[in-house]
Amino acid sequence: MEKTLVVYYSRKGYAEKAALQAAKDLNCDFLEIDTIENTAGYGGFFNCIKMSAGKKEAILFPYDTVISDYDKIIICSSVWMGDVAAPMKEFIKKERHNIKRAEYILLHGFPDSYENIPAELDKILRLKHEKFTSIQCGLGKFHKVQEFFPEK
């Protein structure tokens, strides 16, 4: 039986909501990753900008989940400055050799699908994602959902 893991980073709760729904729908495990940096409130917002701009490292809290135990990883993250959130990017870089198959769920506030991000993540992971879901959200609501399946 295929083992799937939904991995998410969520600053304001949007990615968490989407990730937990995906895990429930698929009846699979989930893992929340977090950074030791404060990302809450206005001060946290500026820390997020610094991490996204590469001026501050996104250092992750340790986690016990063994990523290589899973056949597929669903990466769920908000978009920061046109890229996945810095803590998620750090996770992807750290675990790139342990991820065999991937799907992406990206949440963002702007009406853009961010179709460029999956290709960038595929390069890091050295694989072709199986599915990409782009969700525009804001003010506690999910406004638009688009799904993309790459051509094989």
Q: List the domains of the chain with CATH numbers.
A: 4-148 (3.40.50.360)
CA gap 144, 137 in Å, rounded: 7
Q: Are 86 and 77 in contact (CB under 8 A)?
A: no
Here the tokens at position 43 are: 């001060």
The widest CA-to-CA distance across the chain, in whole angstroms, is: 44
pTM confidence score:
0.88
pLDDT tens digits along 27-83: 999 999 998 887 777 777 777 777 777 777 788 899 999 999 999 999 999 888 888
Q: How many CA atoms lie within 13 A of 27 on its CB side?
A: 2
Beta-strand pair 4-9/72-80: parallel
**How much is the average pLDDT of 108-120?**
87
pLDDT band with cut points at 50, 70 and 90 for residue 22? very high
Query: What are the two backbone dihedrals, phi and then psi, of residue 101, each rounded to the nearest 5 degrees?
Result: -140, 150
